Amino acid sequence: MPLSYTEENYIKAIFKLSEKDDQPVNTNAIAKSIATTAASVTDMIKKLSEKGFVYYERYKGVTLSPEGKSVATQLIRNHRLWEVFLVNKLQFGWDQVHDLAEELEHIKSTDLINRLDTFLGNPKFDPHGDPIPNREGKFTLRNQTTLGTLLTDQTGILVGVREHTTPFLAYLNGLNINLGTELKIIERIQFDRSVKVQINGKEMSMFTEQVSQNLFVKLK
């Protein structure tokens, strides 16, 4: 029996919450992440545990099994390839594609996805700079820091964004900031850790710490 969209969404949520540290994930964290109740999460986790996608011990949180991780990686591959399609081929903005990719990612056909990959020229990163896992599930790593770590007079090239929400991306659009944009630190305000930044050698702008922490850059 194939997994339902709902089951897949739980697996994805668990993957994202344990991505960094690979630690067990709390019931409440999952509930918040997919806007449901703790009770529903407990029910679903039991089911996923019986099916072998997660390891679960009552009151102790949940971790993905290798099968679960594989499902999550596949979904992320699907999602990011569809985002590339929507932006590069259908001319959507990077702030418009998340919800559509969220639906498209559930169409389960490795043949479809591999053909799409080929059609798009085997991209390594999606429109937000996130790495696209390959057929074997391997992610391309990239050395990146956040804009917040750069020193005065250093220039970073935008290679990714942490936040994917429409408001944040639309804000960047308003400043003509895209992947590849050069951001030069003109001044750092100690008081609130905001920074004055020059964009592509032209306009100046102020970024709060919250903004600069959400911008991934590589040093020019």
**Could you tell me which stretch among 53-61, 65-73, 119-127, 161-169 binds DNA (CB under 7 A)?**
53-61
Contacts within 8 Å (CB) and 24+ apart, 203-207? 203/175, 203/176, 205/175, 207/147
Considering the rule CB under 8 A, would residue 75 count as an interface residue with its own copies?
no
**3-state SS, one letter per residue, for 7-34:** HHHHHHHHHHHHCCCCCCECHHHHHHHC
Which of 4/37 has CB closer to its own copies? Answer: 4
Tokens of 141: 């790593």
Partner whose footprint covers residue 44, from its own copies, DNA, none (CB < 5 to 8 Å by kind): DNA
Considering the rule CB under 7 A, would residue 46 count as an interface residue with DNA?
yes
Distant-in-sequence, close-in-space partners of 120: CB < 8 Å, separation ≥ 6: 81, 84, 85, 88, 89
For DNA, the binding residues in 14-33 under the rule CB under 7 A are 26-29
The SS3 of residue 103 is helix
CB of 77 to its own copies, least distance (A): 16
Partner whose footprint covers residue 107, from its own copies, DNA, none (CB < 5 to 8 Å by kind): its own copies
| Site for DNA, rule CB under 7 A | 4, 6-7, 26-29, 35-47, 56, 58-61
